[in-house]
Amino acid sequence: MDFAAQFQAYRDRAEQGLDRLLPPGTTRPARLHEAMRYALLGGGKRLRPVLVLAASDLFGARHDALAAAVAIECIHTYSLVHDDLPCMDNDDLRRGRPTTHKQFDEATALLAGDSLLTFAFQLIGRHYAGQPGLAAALTREIAEAAGSERLVGGQMEDLLAEKKTNATAEELEFIHLNKTAAMIVVSLVAGGLCGGATDAQLDGLRTTGRHLGLAFQIVDDVLDATADTATLGKTAGKDAKAGKTTYVKLHGLDASRKFAREQTDAALAALRSLPGDQKFLAALIESMASRLN
């Protein structure tokens, strides 16, 4: 298996799905739909939709997982658009381009974020209308992952932690598990649902995703502390400058790298409990950790 080629193939499918499933920029109101497309189609790794598609393929991909993949990327993107707003992280740069509120204005970015979140559920409703059991399960899993006790809860605690600049290790884990890992977990679970995974297999996907999500966030923290803005495509060293508590600040670089390695190994172990050809997902999980080398 050529990992890079396979990743690119999944990524291309995701990009095409995003472009095709999003309403055209000319849809009324045009400014809103242009902002949605600007936020969504500005590049990015597409890690989450790739995870959806790859997880679905593990189980034979009984139902097309593309709409679920696009829905999850819409939610991820909405969370970035709102996170970048002046009242949140107040960031000007995202994926090497002006953030949505810089390119348009704050109100348009707010509404574009709201629209992207809602559109995720429109997509599930439209594309799985013929499989109501699947539509209902996807709605349930995705909404729970994106909700006040997971994704948004993580953002809220992240914000509170920034203000006090002395968050505990326990608070930091809550933030990582919810702000980052929840959407990684649900990417794998949504793929599993489309592929026809059993409940036990869905649990295996959850465990894989939780470890992968933690590894991913810690690698991000390490890169923020060690890489430059051009490499990252977003403002580097921002966490330290803001006095923000990160895994690196709390435990140091060496312990962070070690923890990332442990979480990567745990993700790989959980993946091995699943059926199908796991080579691609194993290489993807490994590639996260290897960003640190």
Binding site for its own copies (CB under 8 A): 23, 27-29, 31-33, 36, 78, 82, 85, 87-88, 105-108, 110-111, 113-115, 117-119, 121-122, 124-126, 128-129, 132-133, 135-137, 139-144, 146-149, 152-153, 155-157, 159-160, 174
Q: Using an 8 Å Cβ cutoff, are 242 and 224 in contact?
A: no
CB of 202 to its own copies, least distance (A): 15
Of 115 and 264, which has the nearer Cβ to its own copies? Answer: 115
Among residues 89, 92, 67, 77, which one has the least CA distance to residue 47?
Answer: 77
Of 3 and 174, which has the nearer Cβ to its own copies? Answer: 174
CB of 120 to its own copies, least distance (A): 8
Q: Using an 8 Å Cβ cutoff, are 274 and 208 in contact?
A: yes
CB of 258 to its own copies, least distance (A): 28
CB of 70 to its own copies, least distance (A): 14
Of 182 and 236, which has the nearer Cβ to its own copies? Answer: 182
CB of 22 to its own copies, least distance (A): 10
CB of 291 to its own copies, least distance (A): 29
Give me 286's structure tokens: 């490994």
CB of 171 to its own copies, least distance (A): 10
φ and ψ of 150, to 5 deg: -120, -105
CB of 79 to its own copies, least distance (A): 8
Give me 163's structure tokens: 């203000």
Of 110 and 215, which has the nearer Cβ to its own copies? Answer: 110
Burial 155-186 (b: 16+ CB within 10 A, else e): bebbeebbeeeebeeebbebbbbbbbbbbbbb
- Other Cβ atoms closer than 10 A to 149: 11
Of 61 and 135, which has the nearer Cβ to its own copies? Answer: 135
Of 160 and 242, which has the nearer Cβ to its own copies? Answer: 160
Of 55 and 175, which has the nearer Cβ to its own copies? Answer: 175
Distance CA 60, CA 194 (A): 9
Give me 162's structure tokens: 């920034």
Taking every pair of C-alpha atoms in the chain, what is the biggest distance, in angstroms? 52
- Per DSSP, helices labelled H in the chain are 3-21, 30-40, 47-58, 66-83, 100-103, 106-127, 132-146, 151-164, 169-175, 182-195, 199-226, 229-232, 238-241, 247-271, 279-290
Distance CA 160, CA 147 (A): 17
Of 96 and 132, which has the nearer Cβ to its own copies? Answer: 132
